[in-house]
Amino acid sequence: MSEYYLNPENKEEAVSDLVKVDIFFSSTAITVTSEEPLMTEFDLISSIGGTMGLFLGISLLSICEVIQFVLIVCYSLICKTTEIKTNNQYPV
């Protein structure tokens, strides 16, 4: 198709097929749009932690209390077994 218009014999038809378009803007003002994150990383982490605490009913203090309870139970079991061994008694 482009070869047809490049041929000098078809110059008149090529010129008649051209269209000139002028575009005018009503204003030269420019609108600048910038995006910023809605929340920071710290806000995201605290939001996730708060939601987990709400739905799970667990807080950091509760987790520490559970760990403390497990350690106390383990310590008491270890002390009982060493006490039984030192008295040469068998567990009942």
**pLDDT tens digits, one per residue of 57-85:** 777 788 889 999 999 999 988 887 666 66
Q: Is the dihedral of CA 8, 12, 13, 17 positive or negative?
A: positive
User: Of 23, 7, 24, which is closest to residue 15 (Cα–Cα)?
Assistant: 7
Q: Which residues span the domain enclosing 33?
A: 2-86
Domain total in the chain: 1
> Is 91 contained in some domain?
no
- pTM to 2 decimal places: 0.34
> Is 81 contained in some domain?
yes
